[in-house]
Amino acid sequence: MAESHDSEGSDVENDELSAWFVDQVLPLEGVLERYLRRNWRNASEIADLRQEVYARVWDGCALRRPDSAQAFVLATARNLLIDRARRAQIVAIDTFADMDALAPTVDELSPERHLTGRSELRLLQVALDLLPARCREVVELRKIEGLSQREVASRMGITEDTVERQVSKGVRALAQALQASATAVGLAPAGPLRKKGTLQ
């Protein structure tokens, strides 16, 4: 509930904020990504912008959660793009056109479609298949066969450190692949909806 006046935020508050962030904000990644791509031409900067939006949302919601995470995320994205455009010193006429176009469309404000368990699984499968062979094998053994990292190491005949490095690689590659497929298919992935106590 973030009633505390302690601005630094205790661990409990951070945990609650984290839970809210994971439940409400991260599932919007596809929506956010599409919004950024549509309104920002330099594709190489999209990841930075996404990260910056997340950081601003986190800081902005530390004390009070917005009613609609989606509206807040998109408004944050819009403000960020405006800031960036201003800093880039684009001529006034261009900024005019841009600002006008930045208003989130009705389409984006409609409730996102949640994936059923089955399509989530297919999305994951596609993401998994995108990983480099060795990395994929590690992730498969860990997640599908449910082996521990130590067991994976002995099964594959490699060191535990190597397994850990492959997991680290797999974590990033999965996040990237999931985001790419969510953006491409136009679906926002469903977040876990089982947290106790809603945070409003």
Partner 1 sequence: MTSTDLQEIEARAADWIAERDRYDATLPPDRQQALDAWLAASTAHRVAFLRLEHAWRRADRLGALPASGAQRRRTPLAWIAHPAVYRTAAAFCTVLVAVLLVTQFGRSPETQRYATARGQREQVALADGSHLTLNTATHVRTAVTPRAREVWLDEGEAFFDIAHDARRPFVVHAGAQTVTVLGTKFSLLREGDRLRVAVLEGRVQVKAPRGTPTVLTRDDAALAERDNVLVTRKSTQQLKAGLSWMQGKLVFDQATLADAARQFNRYGRKQLVIEDDAAARIGIGGVFDADNVEAFARLLHVGFGLDVNVVGMRSGCRVRPRERTG
- Quickly tell me which residue has 């490095």 as its tokens: 165
Q: Does 94 bind partner 1 (CB under 8 A)?
A: yes
8 A C-beta contact, residue 112 and residue 70: yes
Inter-CA distances, 172 with 127, 167, 179, Å: 11, 9, 11
97-136: contacts with partner 1 (CB under 8 A):
97-98, 100-101, 117, 120-122, 124-126, 128-130, 132
Contact between 84 and partner 1 by CB under 8 A: the answer reads: no
| 151 near partner 1, judged by CB under 8 A | no
Q: How far is the CB of 66 from partner 1 (least distance, A)?
A: 16
Nearest-approach distance from CB 3 to partner 1, in angstroms: 21
Q: Are 179 and 33 in contact (CB under 8 A)?
A: yes
Closer to partner 1 by Cβ: residue 74 or 163: 163
Which one-letter amino acid corresponds to residue 31? V
Asked whether position 15 contacts partner 1 by CB under 8 A, the answer is no
Exactly one of 73, 74, 178, 187 binds partner 1 (CB under 8 A); which one?
Answer: 178
Among 134, 180, 195, 199, indicate the residue that binds partner 1 (CB under 8 A).
180
Considering beta carbons, is residue 79 or 120 the nearer one to partner 1? Answer: 120
Q: Which of 5, 6, 12, 44 binds partner 1 (CB under 8 A)?
A: 44
Phi/psi for 41 (5° steps) reads -80, -25
Of positions 5, 41, 87, 196, contacts partner 1 by CB under 8 A: 41
Report helix angle 117-129 to 160-185, nearest 10: 120
Out of 93, 111, 193, 196, the residue judged to bind partner 1 by CB under 8 A: 93
| Rounded least distance, CB 191 to partner 1, Å | 8
Q: Which long-range contacts (C-beta less than 8 Å, at least 24 apart) are formed by 75-80?
A: 75/104, 77/32, 77/35, 77/36, 77/49, 77/53, 78/39, 78/102, 78/103, 78/104, 80/49, 80/52, 80/53, 80/56
Write out the two tokens for 181: 């497929």
Closest approach of partner 1 to the CB of residue 84, in Å: 11
Note whether 146 binds partner 1 by CB under 8 A.
yes
